[in-house]
Structure 1
Amino acid sequence: MPFRFSHLCQLLESLEEIERHDPPLLRDARRDKVQKTVVAWFRVHRRTIEAPGTDRVALLSSLFPERRTDRVYLLQAPRLSQAIARGLELRSDKLATLDRFKSPGNGDLGDCLARVLKVHDAEPRLGYVSVEEVDAVLQDIASKVRFSSPTVCARKSLSNDSPGHLLAVIIRRLKSFEAKWLVRMILKDYAPVVLDQQHVLRCFHFLLPALLKFQDTFEAAMHLIKGPLAEFPSNPDPRSQVIFRKQAAGLLRPQIGVKVGRPSFHKAHSLKDCLRTVGSRKWAIERKYDGEYCEIHVDLAKGQDCIQIFSKSGKDSTQDRQGVHGSIREALRSFLGTDADSQVHEHEHLMIVYFDVLMVDEDITMRQPHKERRDRLRDLIAKKRGRAMTAEWKVVDFAQVTAERTLVEQFACALYDRCEGLILKLSDAPYFPLDNTGEWRGFVKLKADYMIDMGNDRDVADFAVVGGSYDAQQALKTGLQNISWTTFHLGCLVNKEAVLRFQAKPSFRVVEVIHQEHCIPKPDLEALNRLGKLRQETDNLHREFDLCPVRYPIPPMGVVFRRPFVVEVLGSGYVKPPNQDFFMLRHPRVIKLHLDLNGFDKPIVKATDTGVAPGSVYSATSNLG
């Protein structure tokens, strides 16, 4: 029989109660309670989960909606609110309750919808809603959005109903707390609940974490579990798991057209941390290039459409990366036998950097040591200057006394050549271990902006915080009560001399926004929210100073701070925003709030201010590797 959606919601509701426990639980106690709750839930529902009538792909997609990058709904909170309101035909008073998520202190859209529907909880329902029904509706909505993957779009339904109508049919059969979790599922964010992915996957099936590294989609992983791995139990004892893993490793092979997972990365926070992590074994030091990760599949049986490209998130980006198709064909010309596509402008094109090979014909090279894979890659790729190359690398034996000096020299050279840093990979290890022996064999990432011992050599700049805005989903992730702003707008003064000499009205250009999640330390976030209430201006956002318009998307701000704060911002190099005449930090995050400074003396960052010559920061080419 199908799996009840209410069972999933009860798990999420229990986990939310743990996260919102008053007083808050200590971190270890909270983690322990969460894990026990998840284990107990799987024990209760194990038989139903493994029943023939349960769509386990739909259940996994419901547990981890953020992994379904192939589905695009175009339903962020404001638009989703409108769709639900139209579908449910809400009266004005209920519509006002639903829209309260836009204001601080009212929870997210899911909370507000639960308040609207709570009065109907006692009413009888026409049967239960299953996970499979919900998944089918979300598939239907995503199939009509052109940004969804080709596979999703190919499975279009015959229904012409709007998303609001499709969701309303489901919501009317749900209780209020279940509707809350449906909304969060559509938004692909269960905050404040954050499921421990590895733990939940192991509870689902002990092989599932490893299988998703091997074939990074739920469909492919479940195909393996139902096929060659069908004889393996889902939750054997620990001793049996070791035996079963080794047996399973020999039964697996990659599938063309299904993305392979990525090994885990350790971010080294200093050279000492890096040396401590690598120990005394041989590691390949490989340059990390500034660009976008992609995984390329080539299926010669498909003729001219033989190339398929996946992004880091797993989304099919074949059409988005048409610019490198010609370089791929030429680099692999000994296999494809075609000429590279011509470019419109010879001085402006993408370049692709190859750094690994996971499978060639019937040879599963991902099982081979890194050194052997690189030798195979060298034989495959035909390099072309400015178009296609292989990543530079060097094997270092860290048992040697000269290893530390070699690492420092390689890191310095990489930074001098404007690479992002280094990636260290065990020379004798496979791409990732399928037998999961327990020994960590991932990669070590060495970047200047990660390392606390780089001092002034990191890319740091001060910016004025000119305003803020609120996002209900972001607010749930902070763990803070009564938070007013989750996103802050960074500005630079464009008329510093006029302000200092003639007391002119300050004019700021907004150059970036920073969200609280992973980018603002919690103490600084608290301070900005507490002190910002004394400086906020909502009635006339331009009364105190001018805000120059920008020509690239930046979310609107809800308040302006009459006296801007100053924050020290760390980034990983400088980039030039589209159609702008200044450079901005890449991947900015706040590292310090300066309460002793004001934002009226922070000029806009020009190329010459950063010590960077105009046009030299990868303005002509974008490396993909």
Structure 2
Amino acid sequence: MPFRFAHVCDLLDRLDHVYSRYPPYLPKDAAQKSRDAVLYWFKKHGQKIRHDANGVALLSTLFPERTHRVHELDCKSLEKIISRALSLPSSRVTDLTRWRDSEVGEGDLGACVERVVNQALDEAVQPRASGVTIEEIEQALVAIASQTPLSPPHARPSALDGTLNASTGSLDRLYQRLPARESKWLTRLILKSYSPVIVPDRLVYMLYHPFLPELLDVEPDFPAALFLLCGMNIPALVHRMSPSLAEMPRESMHHQT
């Protein structure tokens, strides 16, 4: 079955606790804790990732800043989409726009979305996680990019199977299904920034497949690199034959981040 976006949010939350801590960790301690978080996450979800998740959708969700998709959604246009999708009254729209005033210290648009959704729904009955999948999100974002003239031709075709009806209405439906936490991370995903969170890319690539880091050095486009990986016809046994990073000495792990 497809891979739920809530699982990605679990990892992002854990990394956010590392990089948003005050007082901050020393850089080497933050890097180690982020590696530990990724190792734990892959240990928990590794089987689903390798056998169920769409690879392009997973990597694009974890590293949105590396995708070649171009769309015309910025904070202000996304703010309007969210307001419409959630049918916010004027008072809640005001709360949603607080990200514009840096002096207020209300955080980015993602943080404002999270607060607004929490205010609109009773947190006691709000579901912890939705059934929205990374594949659904990828399909919606590819559809929007396909209608953007600025998007390069190779980034326009769908990375997933199926016909896409490109429309921001797909984002409306996603926001209507997501609880507060996932709405926050979806907003940051669309805007291509999880800052201050840093996802250790080389470690993620190695855990996904031992050959992926080198392939991405040659072909940085996720769909193209994964296509090459499939074309190499490498047996699934490679995953089991290669040493697990969870079992590697920590000093050797430093070379994978």
Question: TM-score by structure 2 length?
Answer: 0.84
Kept in 1, the 8 Å contact 2:140–2:166? The answer is: no
2:179 corresponds to: 175
1:133 paired with 2:131, answer no
- The AA in structure 2 aligned to 1:177 is R
Residues 417-444 of structure 1 show CA distances to partners (whole Å, capped at 9, x for unaligned) of: xxxxxxxxxxxxxxxxxxxxx9xxxxxx
Kept in 2, the 8 Å contact 1:75–1:187? The answer is: yes
1:187 corresponds to: 191
Q: How many angstroms does 1:107 deviate by?
A: 0.4
Kept in 2, the 8 Å contact 1:125–1:173? The answer is: no
Q: How many angstroms does 1:228 deviate by?
A: 1.8
Q: How many angstroms does 1:125 deviate by?
A: 9.1
Kept in 2, the 8 Å contact 1:73–1:141? The answer is: yes
- The AA in structure 1 aligned to 2:60 is S
Judging changes above 3 Å, is the alpha-carbon distance between structure 1 residues 9 and 160 closer, same or farther for their aligned structure 2 residues? closer
Kept in 2, the 8 Å contact 1:11–1:41? The answer is: yes
1:30 corresponds to: 30
Judging changes above 3 Å, is the alpha-carbon distance between structure 1 residues 160 and 220 closer, same or farther for their aligned structure 2 residues? closer
2:106 corresponds to: 106
Q: How many angstroms does 1:219 deviate by?
A: 1.6
1: CA distance, partners of 2:225 / 2:33: 28
Structure 2 residues without counterparts, runs of 5 or longer: 245-254
Q: How many angstroms does 1:142 deviate by?
A: 0.8
Q: How many angstroms does 1:67 deviate by?
A: 1.2
Q: How many angstroms does 1:180 deviate by?
A: 0.6
SS at match of 2:192: coil
Q: How many angstroms does 1:146 deviate by?
A: 0.8
Q: How many angstroms does 1:225 deviate by?
A: 2.8
1:234 corresponds to: 239
1: CA distance, partners of 2:5 / 2:164: 24
1: CA distance, partners of 2:135 / 2:60: 10
- Runs of 4+ in structure 1 deviating by more than 6 angstroms, as ranges, are none
SS at match of 1:42: helix
Kept in 2, the 8 Å contact 1:126–1:173? The answer is: no
Between the aligned residues of both structures, percent identity stands at 36
SS at match of 2:239: coil
1: CA distance, partners of 2:216 / 2:194: 21
1: CA distance, partners of 2:74 / 2:209: 32
CA RMSD of aligned residues (A): 2.2
Judging changes above 3 Å, is the alpha-carbon distance between structure 1 residues 35 and 126 closer, same or farther for their aligned structure 2 residues? closer
1:67 corresponds to: 66
Residues 298-318 of structure 1 show CA distances to partners (whole Å, capped at 9, x for unaligned) of: xxxxxxxxxxxxxxxxxxxxx
- Which of residues 138, 142, 154 in structure 2 aligns to 1:151? 154
Q: How many angstroms does 1:182 deviate by?
A: 0.4
Judging changes above 3 Å, is the alpha-carbon distance between structure 1 residues 45 and 150 closer, same or farther for their aligned structure 2 residues? same
Judging changes above 3 Å, is the alpha-carbon distance between structure 1 residues 40 and 154 closer, same or farther for their aligned structure 2 residues? closer
Q: How many angstroms does 1:91 deviate by?
A: 0.7
Q: Which has the higher helix share?
A: 2
SS at match of 1:50: helix
How many residue pairs get matched? 235
2:77 corresponds to: 79
1:40 paired with 2:40, answer yes
1:547 corresponds to: none
Question: TM-score by structure 1 length?
Answer: 0.36
1:18 corresponds to: 18
1: CA distance, partners of 2:149 / 2:70: 8
Kept in 2, the 8 Å contact 1:2–1:131? The answer is: yes
Q: How many angstroms does 1:43 deviate by?
A: 1.0
Q: How many angstroms does 1:221 deviate by?
A: 2.0
Residues 115-158 of structure 1 show CA distances to partners (whole Å, capped at 9, x for unaligned) of: 00114242459960011001011111111111112134455956
SS at match of 1:38: helix
Q: How many angstroms does 1:204 deviate by?
A: 1.8
Q: How many angstroms does 1:223 deviate by?
A: 2.2
SS at match of 1:188: coil
1:88 corresponds to: 86
1:204 corresponds to: 208
2: CA distance, partners of 1:191 / 1:204: 23
Kept in 2, the 8 Å contact 1:77–1:109? The answer is: yes
SS at match of 2:238: coil
1: CA distance, partners of 2:164 / 2:8: 28
Residues 222-247 of structure 1 show CA distances to partners (whole Å, capped at 9, x for unaligned) of: 22333324215236128xxxxxxxxx
SS at match of 2:177: coil
2:252 corresponds to: none
Q: How many angstroms does 1:196 deviate by?
A: 2.2
- Which of residues 198, 222, 227 in structure 1 aligns to 2:226? 222
Superposed, 1:351-500 pairs within 5 Å as none
Judging changes above 3 Å, is the alpha-carbon distance between structure 1 residues 125 and 143 closer, same or farther for their aligned structure 2 residues? farther
Q: How many angstroms does 1:2 deviate by?
A: 0.4
Judging changes above 3 Å, is the alpha-carbon distance between structure 1 residues 172 and 153 closer, same or farther for their aligned structure 2 residues? same
2: CA distance, partners of 1:126 / 1:195: 21
Q: Which structure has the larger Rg?
A: 1
SS at match of 1:234: helix
Q: How many angstroms does 1:42 deviate by?
A: 0.8
- The AA in structure 2 aligned to 1:101 is W
Q: Which has the higher strand share?
A: 1
Superposed, 1:472-551 pairs within 5 Å as none
2:247 corresponds to: none
Question: Mean alpha-carbon deviation: is it higher for 187-196 or for 83-92?
Answer: 83-92
2: CA distance, partners of 1:85 / 1:58: 26
Kept in 1, the 8 Å contact 2:65–2:193? The answer is: yes
Q: How many angstroms does 1:20 deviate by?
A: 1.4
